[in-house]
Amino acid sequence: MFSKTLKPMLLVFAALIVLSACGNPAKLLERGEYEDAVSLSVKKLSGKKKKKTKHVKTLEDAFARATLADMRQIKVLEKEDREENWVEINKTHQRIRRRQELIEPLLPLYASDGYKAEFKFVKIEDLELESKEKAADYFYSEGKRQLAQAEHGDKAAARQAYEDFDEIERYYKTYKDEDRLMKRAKELGTVYVLFKMENDSRTLLPKDFEREIKRISVRDIDSEWRTIHLNPESGLKYDYNVVMRLTSIEVSPDLIKEREYVDDKTIEDGWEYVLDQNGNVVKDTAGNDVKVPKKVLIKARVFESYQRKEAHVGGRLEFFDNMEQEIIHTEPLAVDALFENYAATFDGDKRALSDESKQKIGNSPRPFPSSEVLVLQAAELLKPVVKDKIARSRVLF
């Protein structure tokens, strides 16, 4: 019982300690969280006519320590003499500038007891411009290096080159011929996929079947690095072919099933007198004739006709790697286009019809669709299946 009560209390106490530390610039300073200490101190001092000495001194100390730590880090990175270090150096320069801009509106900063804080600013503008240029140049050089590998078929290198050129926009909106190189990296890094259809079913397809299949909308399943074409583009080398290979096309004969059945129901139809064993009308205690509802059995004969015709189209989706010249994945395909119709008439008392029979009554037999029409309907059903399988494929990268 004690432990169950104590645990929540300890959690609350710990949370209060954390919240207290987060709201106390001096505590943040003690923990070495100089950046947070500066931000919180500025927040506590901004807009205050009487500025507390402890907050002024904390800001002064935290600012000095943060600047010193950043300058030391920059010196270490510069000594390593690695081109990629300019990215981190520039981030640090930006941090120094933002910190100085944060406290600048408070200057000169006096506490309510007359204490004046001293801040040693770094002349950051030229330093930041230098590191900005060198960081951009690093990404530019790295992008060109990756692009050279991409020209030999390395799509991963092309995509990395694209990311490197894209990083330059953090520093400059336009930089040398970065736009042209970025476009080339995009071309080299993109996987191009050609969709094809092959009929191996030994059944003649309707002339519009392939055209109907290729009316699939593929824009929404294209990705950043994958483009699917339904028709070949002249001069473009495709990385993959996705082949819809049809192996079976079957259309059933026209089927008509007829049946006849009877619905019956007992209903109340008027009334009749109750007779005693002698055939006389029975009287109630008031002397009135006793009458009861008259029940009769009614019937209706139902003549039902059921029509059915079905087209089955089956095959597989083959993912073919053009570079390796091999099938790397297959997916089964099968759809059924169905025509069916119920029609029924009746003879007899309509009141005897069941609810199910009532739904059929009134429908008329319909002309059977041609085999060609039904196969085209199967093509319409195939489109979302094919599209979904391509979209879900993990082999097209």
Of 151, 166, 189, the one marking the end of a domain is: 189
pLDDT reading at 388 higher than 80: yes
pLDDT reading at 7 higher than 90: no
- Give the model's confidence band at 4: pLDDT under 50 very low, under 70 low, under 90 confident, else very high: low
- Give the model's confidence band at 36: pLDDT under 50 very low, under 70 low, under 90 confident, else very high: very high
Predicted pLDDT of residue 35: 95
- Give the model's confidence band at 144: pLDDT under 50 very low, under 70 low, under 90 confident, else very high: very high
Report the alpha-carbon distance of residue 137 to residue 79 in Å, rounded: 19
Mean pLDDT across the chain, nearest whole number? 91
Of 148, 164, 189, the one marking the end of a domain is: 189
Answer yes or no: do 326 and 226 share one domain.
yes
- Give the number of domains in the chain: 3
13 is a domain residue: no
Report the alpha-carbon distance of residue 29 to residue 186 in Å, rounded: 47
**Segment holding 251, helix H or strand E:** strand 240-251
Average the pLDDT over 360-376 and give the result: 92
Q: What is the CA radius of gyration of the chain?
A: 42
Give the residue carrying structure tokens 């990268």: 397
Amino acid at 124: I
Look at residues 307, 216, 206 and name the one whose alpha carbon lies nearest to residue 249. Answer: 206
Answer yes or no: do 203 and 280 share one domain.
yes
Tokens standing for residue 384: 């979302």
Answer yes or no: do 382 and 246 share one domain.
yes
Report the alpha-carbon distance of residue 246 to residue 327 in Å, rounded: 16
- Give the model's confidence band at 208: pLDDT under 50 very low, under 70 low, under 90 confident, else very high: very high
Question: What DSSP assignment string belongs to 17-41?
Answer: HHHHHHT-HHHHHHTT-HHHHHHHH
Tokens standing for residue 241: 């072919």
pLDDT reading at 223 higher than 70: yes
14 is a domain residue: no
Answer yes or no: do 180 and 220 share one domain.
no
Tokens standing for residue 331: 């997916």
Look at residues 239, 208, 388 and name the one whose alpha carbon lies nearest to residue 324. Answer: 239
290 is a domain residue: yes
- Give the model's confidence band at 237: pLDDT under 50 very low, under 70 low, under 90 confident, else very high: very high
Answer yes or no: do 177 and 72 share one domain.
no
> Could you give phi then psi for residue 264, rounded to 5 degrees?
-135, 160
Predicted pLDDT of residue 289: 80
Average the pLDDT over 142-166 and give the result: 96
Maximum pairwise Cα distance, the chain: 130
Predicted pLDDT of residue 6: 57
- Give the model's confidence band at 340: pLDDT under 50 very low, under 70 low, under 90 confident, else very high: very high
Answer yes or no: do 397 and 267 share one domain.
yes
Of 189, 207, 227, the one marking the end of a domain is: 189
Q: What is the pLDDT of residues 243-288, one digit of tens each?
A: 999 999 999 999 999 999 999 998 887 888 878 788 787 888 888 8
CA angle at residue 187 from 181 to 192, to 5 degrees?
170
Predicted pLDDT of residue 254: 96
Report the alpha-carbon distance of residue 14 to residue 194 in Å, rounded: 61
- Give the model's confidence band at 201: pLDDT under 50 very low, under 70 low, under 90 confident, else very high: very high
Average the pLDDT over 299-309 and give the result: 94
Give the residue carrying structure tokens 């095959």: 315
Torsion from C-alpha of 384, 390, 391, 394, nearest 10 degrees? 150
**328 with 320: CB under 8 angstroms?**
yes
Strands 326-348 and 240-251 come out as: unpaired
Q: What is the pLDDT of residues 59-74, one digit of tens each?
A: 999 999 999 999 999 9
**Least trusted range by pLDDT, from 54-68, 280-294, 337-351:** 280-294
% of the chain surpassing 90 pLDDT: 77
Burial status of residue 361 (CB atoms within 10 A of its CB: 0-12, 13-18, 19 or more): middle
Answer yes or no: do 224 and 344 share one domain.
yes
Amino acid at 284: D
> Could you give phi then psi for residue 159, rounded to 5 degrees?
-70, -35
251 is a domain residue: yes
Predicted pLDDT of residue 21: 47
Q: What is the pLDDT of residues 157-198, one digit of tens each?
A: 999 999 999 999 999 999 999 999 999 999 999 999 999 999
Own/partner contacts of 129-132, CB < 8 Å, gap of 24 or more, are: 131/86, 131/89, 131/90, 131/93, 132/90, 132/93, 132/171
Give the residue carrying structure tokens 């029609």: 343
128 is a domain residue: no
Q: Which domain holds residue 174?
A: 133-189
Predicted pLDDT of residue 142: 97
Report the alpha-carbon distance of residue 346 to residue 358 in Å, rounded: 10
- Give the model's confidence band at 19: pLDDT under 50 very low, under 70 low, under 90 confident, else very high: very low
**159 with 185: CB under 8 angstroms?**
yes
**Segment holding 65, helix H or strand E:** helix 53-80
Predicted pLDDT of residue 280: 82
Predicted pLDDT of residue 12: 44
Report the alpha-carbon distance of residue 327 to residue 393 in Å, rounded: 14
Which residues does 284 contact at the CB level (< 8 Å), separation at least 6? Answer: 290
Answer yes or no: do 253 and 379 share one domain.
yes
Answer yes or no: do 178 and 145 share one domain.
yes
Tokens standing for residue 212: 């109907």
Report the alpha-carbon distance of residue 267 to residue 277 in Å, rounded: 26
**Least trusted range by pLDDT, from 47-51, 138-142, 161-165, 285-289:** 285-289
What DSSP state is assigned to residue 283?
A: B
pLDDT reading at 13 higher than 80: no
Tokens standing for residue 174: 């336009």
Beta-carbon-side half-sphere exposure of residue 255 (alpha carbons within 13 Å): 13
Tell me the range of 12-21, 222-231, 309-318 where mean pLDDT is highest. Answer: 309-318
**Least trusted range by pLDDT, from 25-29, 123-127, 353-357:** 353-357
Answer yes or no: do 387 and 240 share one domain.
yes
Answer yes or no: do 165 and 247 share one domain.
no
1 is a domain residue: no
Answer yes or no: do 180 and 326 share one domain.
no
